[in-house]
A and B are shown apart, each in its own frame.
Chain A
Amino acid sequence: MKKKAFENFVYGVFLLLGLITVGCVLLITVYLIVSGLPAIRQIGLGEFLLGRTWASTAADPRFGILPFILTSVYGTAGAIALGVPAGFLTAVYLAKAAPPKVKAAVSAAVSVLAGIPSVVYGLVGMLVLVPGIRTAFHVPDGASLLAAIVVLAVMILPSIVNVSITALEAVPREYEDASLALGAAPTETWFRVSVPAARSGIAAAVVLGVGRAIGEAMAVMMVSGNVANMPSLFESVRFLTTAVASEMSYSSGLQRQALFSIALVLYLFILLINGTLNFFLKRGGRD
């Protein structure tokens, strides 16, 4: 009987460990809701989400986060527009066309890209990209939405490549063989048969890229100029993530609470993206 009690105890310990992830998600969700709601209630949901001015430290403070939301959306869309075609084509090349040695070398390069810390991207962006944009487009300051888009595009590239490769390699060999037997060239087969067959996985790759781009803070903070303007390609802008990060250290009162509300909005975006990602991954698994 003593042994039985001991086994139950061990079971309890492992059950507890298993439940930790659930506990963490609950903790994060509850904390964000509890600390994020008061400011929204005080400012008013419409004014908070649709207000076009953010002047948190002014004598008559305004807390409209529409500029941040739009910047995050535009920035992510731009990064996707640049990063997805490059990542997708690289993935098709690596999964189907590349000779084994080239594939090994390029895959290693992609995983190096994935491992580089975001502050290093930020630093290089600050010293190469920002001055580059200033001289190339003759704007007073290169720290802009465009700089952030380019940095984000590079940062999401590895996720897109890796997830797409996995999807493309999972396409049954028979599909491709059938297409080849019907007289299609290998290249036509990859793009007309393999890619459509792997579309769920590739969609998942894009959604994952969206999640990465919208959640990135440090690299973007270093290249985007960080002024709460409405988004425009060559203007200094502030994202949802950088809005939280840049004022947190000196904020207080309603301003601080409003920052928590921004984090709550960001969290809702992320939950939405995660849901979409799961949908595509599940569908990919079923196909």
Chain B
Amino acid sequence: MEERISTKRRVRIALLWVLMGLAAATTCALVLFLAVYVMAKGVPEITWTLLSTRPSYLTGNIGILPDILNTVYIIIAALVLVIPLGAGAAVYLTEYAKNRKLAAVIEYAAETLSGIPSIIYGLVGMLFFCSFLDMQTSLLAGALTLVIMNLPTVMRTTQESLKTVPQSYRDGAFGLGAGKWRVIRTVVLPGCVDGIVTGCILSVGRILGESAALLFTAGFAHTVHGFFEGLSNSGATLTVALYFYAKEEGEFGVAFAIAAILMILTLVIQLAAMLAGRYFKRRRGR
């Protein structure tokens, strides 16, 4: 067979293989380079002092404890709000929505939301939460902005998992005389746990990497607060702190230390998402 293929065709095939190989190799090389470079530059800069202190102009100390805490606070606050909202919207779409047009409008709105760049979220968040609702520049305003941003993600993953709840379960429950709410509470909601977990993992990843939406909503401050006090005060997350130290201060060591931490957390989240996906798939298979 092989020898019947003309030389011209064989050259073209070989060329396509070379191009595909080059492209795939470039992609892998990029990832390797980024990971190795950031780790090599950043990991040696991570010290206990850096992680456990706050910055002070008096002593010239640089510490990222407040930024770590702010990131944790903002993730918790955003998730607490986005889970019920996103899951609720998904339940409405799959369980209640009889009006196809309304459902289509909601889906279209969700798609639009997921395409809007974060800088626009930041701007509207600043106008609406900080100015109009008078929250000032605060972690809460930042968290609320992130809630809107991550709504489509949680909604979509929950919807996906609700689709896997067999219709016969619902029919069975209705047949036994259960009301709509009871069916949702006992049959539908337990079925969407995996979607919510996946949505949470994805959202945490996005919040961790987000910076443009937080610049004008959560601000730049580096003070250590408790959770509730922290929410009402301005504060930089790790990404915003990275930007600040690299661009405004020229402290590249600190910037790389934060970058390495972010990189490690990103890898952990990827792994968590992969393992969760595999676990849920296996459980569903049974």
Interface residues of A (CB under 8 A from B): 3, 6-7, 10-11, 13-15, 17-22, 24-25, 27-28, 31-32, 35, 85-90, 92-94, 97-98, 105-106, 108-113, 115-120, 122-124, 126-128, 154, 157, 161, 185, 187-188, 191, 211, 214-218, 221-222, 241, 244-245, 248-249, 260, 263, 266-267, 270-271, 273-274, 277-278
Contact = CB atoms under 8 A, between A and B. Distances in A.
Question: Would you call the interface of chain A mostly helix, strand, loop, or mixed?
Answer: helix
A32 B112 CA distance: 15
A109 B155 CA distance: 26
Contacts of A35: 127
Contacts of A89: 19-20, 22-24
B80 interface: no
Contacts of A7: 179-181
A18 B102 CA distance: 10
A249 B31 CA distance: 34
A191 B12 CA distance: 11
Given A31-B128, A113-B34, 12 more contacts: A10-B184, A18-B102, A22-B105, A28-B148, A89-B24, A113-B27, A113-B31, A117-B266, A185-B5, A244-B119, A248-B123, A273-B115
Given A28-B120, A248-B123, A241 B212 contact: yes
B165 interface: no
A120 B38 contact: yes
Contacts of B95: 14
A126 B228 CA distance: 36
Contacts of A22: 105-106, 109
Interface in B227-257: 239, 242-243, 246-247, 252, 255-256
Interface string B96-137: 110000100110111111011111111110111000000000
Contact of A267 (B13, B116, B243): B116
A190 to B, nearest CB: 8
Given A6-B181, A120-B263, A27 B88 contact: no
B209 A118 contact: yes
B93 interface: yes
Contacts of A32: 120, 123-124
B30 interface: yes
A22 to B, nearest CB: 4
Given A28-B120, A267-B116, A15 B96 contact: yes
Contact of B97 (A18, A88, A108, A154): A18
9 contacts: A18-B102, A86-B27, A109-B32, A112-B35, A115-B269, A161-B27, A214-B117, A245-B215, A278-B108
Interface residues of B, number: 86
B37 A21 contact: no
Contacts of B27: 86-87, 90, 106, 109-110, 113, 157, 161
Interface in B144-169: 148, 151-152, 155
B141 to A, nearest CB: 14
B174 interface: no
Nearest to B103: A18
B89 to A, nearest CB: 5
B116 A28 contact: yes
Given A21-B110, A127-B252, A211-B115, A10 B181 contact: yes
A6 B180 CA distance: 10
B193 interface: no
- B28, B105, B120: most-surrounded residue (chain A CB, <10 A): B120
Nearest to A259: B123
Contacts of B279: none
B123 A116 contact: no
Contact of A270 (B89, B97, B120): B120
Nearest to B88: A17
